[in-house]
Amino acid sequence: MPRVVAWSCVVLFFCAGGVAAADPVAATRGKAALEGTAFIRAFWPSFGYAEAWRAWGVSEKPAGYDAAFRERYGLHPAPYPNDGLPMGLRKADYLFTKGIGIDCMVCHGGSILGKSIVGLGNTSLDIHSLFEELYAASRTPTRVPFAFCQARGTSEAGAFSVYLLGFREPDLTLTHKFRDLGLKDDACEDVPAWWLLKKKKTMYYVGATDARSVRSMMQFMMHPLTTRGDFERAEPAFRDVLQYLLSMEPPKYPFPVDAKKATAGKVVFGEHCAKCHGTYGERWTYPNKIVPLAEIGTDPKRYENIGPAFGAAYAESWFAKEKAGGWFLPGQPLKLTAGYQAPPLDGVWATAPYFHNGSVPTLDGVLNSRARPKVFTRSFGTGADDYDRERVGWKVREVSPPPATMSDIDRRRVYDTTRPGRGNAGHTYGDDLAPDERAAVIEYLKTL
Ligand code: HEC
Ligand code: HEC
């Protein structure tokens, strides 16, 4: 074992969190695999990209087409070679030629202060419009069978798995007898940052999957044309991808921080927050705490939507049959957890909006439930002008609930917290802080 790995294992063991330190050689391979491999076949022919504008209600192809395309769907420039496509789209096999598919970064490649970052959640994305308009441009109009996105910047990634597993036998061969495993499409999931995984014993918001599970991440490969053999051949690469995710570090807050205020905030954080979110710095601790739904009080849909029918089918499937655990915590088959996991807060300045459903646009709102906007929109740009340095998160504008006549793509630009899955209640732990204490905690959070 290289010395650097051995040493970081000691540190991690000492800190009593996380699964294991990343193997740097495998992590390098994993990065190359993630940025250079088409793990699934294309959904659209190549001309789908060039022709998408025909669905935009404009009379001619916009100038600066690549930028207009990214803006339309909420995609960002790829910070690695990607055949001229935005991050998240990828050249892949299509029938007997090449076409365009998606990859992990369509959701897990975000942007902050105008910089594309692999591993940051993409909070600009409207994946529903992307799918439907690219199908239309490809002259194969296809309705996505559920709402893939209810509010821009969130997606129904869980529903995607629930739907597609319904077409698979336990050994992942395709079946024509579709089983409804409890498909629901109103969880409005925000995408967690990948750099948090190394502190976690379990993955996903409810903490029901062992964080060492490689196959769990492969659910995304359930494209209708993916065969059992494809899954098996890709597993070694996914082992490396997991090592890459475990090696990631959060971006640093780039603006000045008031050190005195942050130090005061650290004390308040220690009293009010550390028991759930852990402590930070070289000798960090992280309790891996799942907070029961009734206690945390945030929106219940994500918790409820992925239920026993999917759990049972998953537990029988190839995904759950890997050595190091699988869908459920080792030794606890079919047992769902009690609520949501209190996430590590490393790099939290960059991961707005907050909570598992992205219902609160700033840290100030997280720490003061009375200050949370109810129905709001934002630019969905990620530049310095879009970023709220005072409240820490995205600048938003309160608006009226969207009328029924609004086009779907515009309606999804409005986040309406009165709608199912989008509730912004709960997590009231900052409500009783004095304003200067709250400001100090926010200053401290910038340093994590
Ligand atoms: C359609 C969007 C989407 C795509 C594509 C996608 N993910 Fe995710 N991913 C999510 C969302 C949303 C979550 C949170 C799920 C939850 O807990 O409910 C998530 C969670 C995860 C987690 C758990 C993180 C944690 O800290 O708990 C990992 C690891 C992960 N994804 C890896 C991948 C990999 C690898 C790929 C590509 C093979 C991928 N994802 C493709 C949206 C996506
Ligand atoms: C009883 C445990 C508990 C306490 C105490 C607590 N939190 Fe949380 N916190 C959670 C849970 C659970 C979530 C996830 C809720 C969800 O996503 O629905 C969360 C979410 C957050 C988030 C959003 C993270 C993200 O990326 O979306 C922030 C920021 C946060 N907490 C900060 C704090 C601060 C600061 C304090 C102290 C004032 C605090 N929390 C106290 C349990 C706790």
Percent of the chain with pLDDT over 70: 92
Number of residues assigned to the chain: 448
Rounded Cα distance between 369 and 256, Å, is 27
The 3-state DSSP class for residue 29 equals: helix
In tens, the pLDDT along 102-140 reads: 999 999 999 999 999 999 999 999 999 999 999 999 988
pLDDT score of 316: 87
Rounded Cα distance between 42 and 40, Å, is 7
Rounded Cα distance between 154 and 120, Å, is 13
- Region 280-299 average pLDDT: 97
Half-sphere exposure of 267 (CA within 13 A, CB side): 8
pLDDT score of 167: 95
pLDDT score of 326: 47
Rounded Cα distance between 193 and 197, Å, is 8
Pocket of ligand 2 (CB under 6 A): 269, 272-273, 275-277, 291, 296, 298, 340, 342-343, 345, 348, 351, 354-356, 363, 366-367, 427, 429-430, 441
Who wins on pLDDT, 406 or 143? 406
Mean pLDDT of the chain: 92
35 CB near ligand 1 (under 6 Å): no
Phi, psi of 36 (to 5 degrees): -125, 0
Rounded Cα distance between 187 and 236, Å, is 31
In tens, the pLDDT along 348-391 reads: 999 999 999 999 999 999 999 999 999 999 999 999 999 999 99
pLDDT score of 208: 84
Angle between helices 435-446 and 259-272 (to 10 degrees): 100
pLDDT score of 79: 98
Q: Using alpha carbons, select from 41, 51, 74, 115 the residue that is nearest to residue 383.
A: 115
Decide: 195 and 351 in contact? Cβ < 8 Å. Answer: no
- Integer distance in angstroms from the first to the last C-alpha of the chain? 30
Decide: 197 and 311 in contact? Cβ < 8 Å. Answer: no
Please, which pLDDT band fits residue 95 given cuts at 50, 70 and 90?
Answer: confident
What is the Å distance from ligand 1's center to 191 Cα? 7
